[in-house]
Chain A
Amino acid sequence: MKHLRSISELGAEGLSRILKLTESMAEINTRAVPKVPALRGKTVVSLFFEDSTRTRLSFETAAKRLSAETMNFSVSTSSVNKGESLRDTIETITDMGVDAFVVRHKSVGVPWQISQWTNASIVNAGDGAHQHPTQALVDCFTVREALGKQDLSGLNLTIVGDIKHSRVARSNIHAFSMLGANITLVAPPTLLPLNIEHWPVKVSNDLDAVLASTDVLYMLRLQSERMAQGLVPSLHEYSTRYGLDEKRVAALQSSAVVMHPGPMNRGVEMLIDPSDIPNSLIHRQVTNGVSVRMAVLFDLLSVEELS
C-alpha cells in the first residue's frame, strides 16, 4: 500500500490486513519496552493544519514505537504563516528526505492533491468532513476486540449525530459495511447529508426507536457552531432528542457497547459521565489508536516482515 487516504482506497482486503497487523502491534504495546526497530531510518512528518490531540499524539507515539524519526510541523510557527503555498511546503519538506506525511487539513481532498507533489506516502488524518480512515480502523478493531469476533455480519451499528459534517461517520460507514455490519444513521434531518440513497445505511430521526436493537451505539460530537448556523434549533432540543443520558443507556441491550471518537461535548451529546456507562469502549478506542497507527505506518513503510 502506497497511501492511506480513504477506506475505499484501502479496500476490504487492506482493511483485513491492517486489522490483523494491529493485533501484532497491540502485542508489542503490552511489552515492558514497547519499541521495535521495524522502521529505523524512516522519517514520518506530522502535518497538522487543524487542531488535534489524540490523532496527532497517537501517530507520533506509533512512529516512535517503530523507531521511525518524526518531524513535527506546526502551522502556527511555520512559513505557512508567511503565505507559503501548500505545494511549496510539501516540496520543501520532501526535499529534506521524508517517507510519509501524516496530514490533517480542514479542506476536503488535500491528501490527494499533496500526493501529486511528493513521492512520500500520504496518510490522511482527517480531511474536512470527508475521511478519517485511521479512526475507522481503530473503531473496527475495537469492536472486534470487544466482541471477540472477526466477522461483524448482522451486527447493528447505530451512528448518532452530525453525520453531515462527520469524516468519522463517512469512514466508518465504509469500513463497517465491508465487515458486514448493518448501519443505522440517527440525526435530525438537517444534520444528514442529502441524496444518500446509495449509502449502505438505514436512516432514522428517532434515537429511542432504535436503541433496543442496537449492538454498537456510536455517538458523534456536535460542534456548537452547528447551532450558530441554524442547523439545530437549540442545543437543548438536540441533546433532549439525540443526547446519551442514563435512561437511554438503560434502554440499550445489556450486551450493547458505546463508542465516541472524541473530543466529547459533555452536556450536549454526552449527558451521562462516560465512566457511568457499563460497556463504554471510549478508552479502548484511544488505546487501540496507537496500535492501529503503528500497523498503518508499518504497512506503508516497511520493506521487511515484522520480527
Chain B
Amino acid sequence: MTIVIKGGSVVGANGVEKVDVLVDNDVIVKVGSNLAGDVSLDATGCHVFPGFVDLHAHLREPGREDTETIETASRAGAKGGYTALIAMPNTNPAHDSVTVIEFVREQARKAGLLDVFPSGCITMGRLGEALAPLAELSAAGVRIFTDDGSGVQDPVLMGRAMQYAKTLGVTMAQHCEVSALTQGAVMNECGCSSDMGVPGWPAVAEEMMVQRDIEMSRLTGASVHFLHLSTARSVDLVRAAKSEGLNVTAEVTPHHLSLTQELLKSFDPIYKVNPPLRSMDDIQALKAGLLDGTIDAVATDHAPHARRDKELSLDQAPPGMIGLETALGVVLSAVDLDPVQIAAVMSRNPARIAQITESHGRNIGVGDIANLCVVDLDAMWQVNPAKLASKSKNTPFVGRQLRGIVRSTMYRGQITVQDGEAQK
C-alpha cells in the first residue's frame, strides 16, 4: 500500500519546498509534484517535518506503570509529532542491565507507535558509586548514558565513565546538579525563595558541574551532552566550550524556555521541576542559545507523576511535568523559530546526538524510512487535560494559548496520528 502526503511544505535538505511525499510500506519512494497513492494524507497549509526525536523522556515502565507505560508514553509522543524517544534510565529496576534494556525495547515494539531507544545508566542503580556495565550495554546498542535525576557527583568516577565513552563511541549525558548545594531545594534560589522561606536551588549548582564536565571532556575527548540546561551562565559555558571545538552538546526543555520561578508563589507543586524554573534573564539566555546553535536540541524531560504525588506539599512532591504532547506548541509560543530551525532542534540535532540518524532526523529524501510529522505552524490551540494520551496529567500548560499543532504523525510508514487523533 502507498500513502501520499499531499499539499504540504516539506522541510528537507534544500530548505522548505512545496512537494508531495509518496511512501510505500515504510520507505519514502518519491518526492515531487502531483504524486498519487492508494491513500492520501492531506497536508495543505501544513509543514512536513522529519519525525521529532525526544532526547529526554521518562516512560516510568518498569516500576511506576500507574503513572505512565511505554505504550501510553508512545501514544503521547506520537500525538506530539515524535517518532523516537530516548527513554531515561530512572525506572525500577533502572537501565543498568541488558535485561532491562531489552524489556523496554520489547514493550515499545508491542506498542508499535514510535521507536524507543533506552539510555543506559552511567552507574549501577544510578547510585553514583560503581560504573554500570558500559561496554556490555553499548554492545547491546545503547548509545547514550546518563544517571538522569541525579548527576554523577564523584569526578573520579565520571572521568572513568568518560574514558569508557571515548573508546566505545557513546555519549555521556549529564544531569548537572551538585547535590550538596541543592539539599531540600524546591525552586530556584532567588528573591521569591527567600520570601517563601524555602531552600533554593542555586544556579551555581548546575554551572559547577557543567564546567567540570567540560574540563573532563577536554581531558578525555569523550562526547558529553548536557541535559536540560536552565541557567544563563550554563549557556555561556557551553558556548565557550563549543567555540574551542570540544565535543559537547546541550538541550533545553520547553518549560525552561517559557515559565519562570514566580509561578512557585502559588505553592502549586505542578511547577516544581528539576532543574527548577529560573528567571526571565535565564529564559532570554536559553532562547538566544537555542537560536545561535549553542543549544542543539529541545528535549521534553517528560516526567509523569500521579495526582496523589503532586498533591503532596511543595517540599515533598516529586519534581517534573509532562511535555510530549505540548512540546512543539510551547516552544513555538516562546521562541520564533523558522521551519528549518524547528527541524534542526526537534529532529535532526537530537537524532545526531542519539546516534540514530539511520532512521531519524533525515532530510525527507527517497530511500529514507518514513518517520514524519505534519504540523500546522500557525494554528492556535489550548491543552485539554481530558484529551491527553499520557496517563498522568501533570502539565502546567492547561488553559494557555499555544501556537503550532501536530496534525498527523507517520511512524515507519504507518499513520499513528491523523487530524490530531491517535490511530491506535
Q: How many Å from the CB of A130 to the closest CB on chain B? A: 4
Q: How far is the CA of A178 from the CA of B155 in the complex (A)?
A: 51
User: Contacts A85-B311, A87-B311 hold; do A129 and B200 have CB atoms under 8 A apart?
Assistant: no
* B197 interface hit (Cβ, 8 Å): yes
A113: B residues at CB distance < 8 A:
267-268, 311, 313
When distances are taken between beta carbons in the complex, the residues of chain A under 8 Å from B312 are: 85-86
Contact residues of B between 289 and 348, Cβ < 8 Å to A: 308, 311-316
B-contacting residues of A (Cβ < 8 Å)?
Answer: 85-87, 105, 107-110, 112-113, 128-131, 164-167, 170, 193-198
User: Which chain B residue has the least Cβ–Cβ distance from A85?
Assistant: B308
A168 to chain B, nearest CB (A): 11
A87 to B316, CA, bound (A): 14
**Shortest beta-carbon distance from B128 to chain A in Å:** 22
Complex CA distance for A129 and B313, rounded to whole angstroms: 14
CB distance from B176 to the nearest CB of A (A): 21
Q: Are B194 and A194 in touch, CB under 8 angstroms?
A: yes
CB within 8 Å for A108 and B197 given contacts A113-B267, A195-B190, A197-B191 = yes
* Cα A13 to Cα B193 with chains together (Å): 26
Decide: B267 and A195 in contact? CB cutoff 8 A.
no
Query: Which B residues are CB-close (under 8 A) to A196?
Result: 191, 194
Distance A110 CA – B186 CA, assembled complex (angstroms) = 14
Contact of B194 among A86, A87, A128, A195 (CB under 8 A): A195
Instruction: Compute how far the CA of A108 lies from the CA of B267 in the bound complex, rounded to whole angstroms.
Output: 8
Q: Which of A166, A170, A194 has the most CB of B within 10 A?
A: A194
Ordered by A's residue number, 18 sampled pairs between the chains whose C-beta atoms are within 8 Å are A85-B312, A105-B313, A108-B186, A108-B267, A108-B315, A110-B267, A112-B266, A112-B267, A113-B267, A130-B198, A131-B197, A164-B197, A193-B194, A194-B200, A195-B190, A195-B191, A195-B194, A196-B191
Q: Known contacts A193-B194, A194-B200, A195-B194; is A107 also within 8 Å of B189 by CB? A: no
* A260-B367 Cα distance, complex, nearest whole Å: 78
Does A198 contact B315, Cβ atoms closer than 8 Å? no
Contacts of B314 in A (CB 8 A): 107-109
Shortest C-beta distance, B35 to chain A (Å), equals 54
Whether B195 sits at the interface, judged by CB under 8 Å, is yes
A194 vs B196: C-alpha distance when bound (angstroms):
12
A164 to B194: give the CA distance in the assembly, Å: 8
Instruction: List B contacts of A193 (CB < 8 A).
Output: 194, 197
For residue B200, which residues in chain A have a CB less than 8 angstroms away from its CB? 194
Give CA–CA (A167, B267) in the complex, Å. Answer: 16
Nearest residue (CB) in A for B316 is: A107
Chain B residues with CB below 8 A from A108, complex form:
186, 196-198, 267, 313-315
Instruction: Give which listed residue, A105, A165, A198, contacts B191 with CB less than 8 A.
Output: A198
Distance of B231 from chain A, by nearest CB (Å) = 15
Contact check, A129 vs B191: say whether CB atoms are below 8 A apart.
Answer: no
- B 244-287 to A, binary, CB cutoff 8 A, 1 in contact else 0: 00000000000000000000001110000000000000000000
Chain B nearest CB, measured from A197 CB (Å): 7
With A85-B308, A128-B198, A170-B197 in contact, is A109–B190 under 8 Å at CB? no
Residues of A close to B267: CB separation below 8 A: 108-110, 112-113
Q: Top 3 closest A-B pairs, CB basis?
A: A109-B267, A129-B197, A107-B313
- Which chain B positions have C-beta within 8 A of A128? 197-198, 315
- Candidate in A108, A167, A197 with the most chain B CB atoms within 10 angstroms: A108
Given contacts A195-B189, A195-B190, A195-B191, contact A109 B313 (CB under 8 A): yes
- Give Cα distance in the complex from A113 to B314, angstroms: 9
Known: A108-B314, A113-B313. 7 other contacts (CB 8 A): A87-B308, A108-B186, A130-B197, A166-B197, A167-B197, A195-B190, A196-B194
Measured in the bound complex, the distance between the Cα atoms of B189 and A195 in whole Å is 8
Residues of A within 8 A of B198 (CB): 108, 128-130
Q: A109-B267, A195-B190 are in contact. Are A170 and B313 (CB under 8 A)?
A: no
CB distance from B306 to the nearest CB of A (A): 11
Closest to B192 in A: A195
A130 in contact with B194 (CB, 8 Å): no
A1 → B minimal CB distance (Å) = 19
A170 near B195 with CB under 8 A, answer yes
Residue of B nearest to A129 (CB): B197
User: In the complex the two chains form, what is the Cα distance from A87 to B311 in whole Å?
Assistant: 7
Which residues from A are CB-within-8-Å of B268?
113
Q: How far is the CB of B87 from chain A (nearest CB, A)?
A: 30
Smallest CB separation, B261 vs chain A (Å): 11
Residues of B within 8 A of A167 (CB): 197
Per-position 1/0 for B69-93, Cβ under 8 A of A: 0000000000000000000000000
